[in-house]
Amino acid sequence: MSLNQILLIGRAGNDPEMRYTPSGTPFTSFSLAVNNNRRDPNGDGWIEETEWFRVTAWERQAELVNQYLAKGRRVFVDGPAHIPRSYRRTN
């Protein structure tokens, strides 16, 4: 058994952009900023790091995301992870 699932909580980095496939299927894309805190190597405090993800919603979800999401709003993302081939290990 295998599982390909990702859960992210962060803030929209831009307003969503809705487009359509040639067959008319709507899809909406936006960037998502997720902040992680880790201890400073000297132990003096915390370092905040931001990771960016590109999120795409399809069909009815695409329409809802386009209608309700805006830059800076907090969002929870749950779905399959698709990693571009250029980032995958070859060995």
Report the Cα–Cα distance between both ends of the chain, in Å, rounded. 22
Structure confidence by residue, pLDDT tens digits, 15-69: 999 999 999 999 999 999 999 988 888 878 888 999 999 999 999 999 999 999 9
> Is pLDDT at 90 greater than 90 in this prediction?
no
Tell me the whole-structure pTM to 2 decimals. Answer: 0.80
Distance CA 73, CA 70 (A): 6
Q: Read off the pLDDT band of 10 (50, 70, 90).
A: very high
Structure tokens at 72: 């800076």
Rg (CA), the chain: 16
Sign (positive/negative) of CA torsion 71, 74, 76, 80?
A: positive
Distance of CA 41 to the CA centre of its chain: 28
Q: What is the pLDDT of residue 91?
A: 61
